[in-house]
Amino acid sequence: MNFKTLLLASASGLALISCSPTLKVKQLDEKTGQLPTETKIMPNEVLTEKNINLNDFNQFLFIKKSGVNMEKYESYVTQTLKNIGGFKKIYTQTELEQYVIQNNLTDKVTSISDNIGLLNLQKQVGNFLVCESNVEFLGGYNYQFTFKITNPATAETVLDIKHQAFNWGGLDRPLFNPVFNYYIDWTKKNTK
């Protein structure tokens, strides 16, 4: 194998590895309590940040289906949020629908896909929060991750982050982990 062929094979291999989203759920670092990343969220990427007492809402976090690309990332986001903790339970859309049916709430809660349905559920079961997220391919190697937490009792957004990253070595470290780390800090600050 000549040098030119070896160089071409190496470059092709590096391109394949560097462009792929790894989406491997990581445990929090025991020392820092954070996920591994070299990137911090910039102030202009935090669209909304409100102080609330999360102890009043820790019954569960509902991960609402949102965005055209989220099904591809739903398991990764859900499992990462479970690893982060802070809520007694985390429900996906299917799991929360089963909860509504199993607890005979279908007469009072006809939908969990809209704000009115979520308000009706909140009236029946008490306070909880809703998480919506989306990953958008912006072209080239650029991606955007939108992460929003809402209070269904008021339909008020309490945390909203829109972060962009360049996918050179996977999406975990540059795109997802900075947002999750900001969320971790926000939950710590709001747990009284």
| Cα–Cα distance measured from residue 170 to residue 19, given in angstroms and rounded to the nearest whole number | 6
Instruction: Please state, for a pLDDT cut of 90, what percent of the chain lies above it.
Output: 75
Give whole-number Cα distances, 88 to 55, 82, 91, 137, 185, in Å. Answer: 10, 9, 10, 33, 18
65 Cβ neighbours under 8 A, 6+ residues apart? 71, 74, 93, 113
Q: What is the pLDDT of residue 1?
A: 55
Cα 108 to Cα 29: distance, rounded to the nearest angstrom: 42
What is the rounded CA–CA span in Å between residue 187 and residue 149? 11
Q: What are the tens digits of pLDDT across the range 140-165?
A: 999 999 999 999 999 999 999 999 99
Model pTM?
0.85
- Is pLDDT at 19 greater than 70 in this prediction? no
pLDDT at 6: 41
Structural tokens at position 156: 């008020």
Residue range 116-137, pLDDT digits in tens: 999 999 999 999 999 999 999 9
Question: How many residues would you count in the chain?
Answer: 192
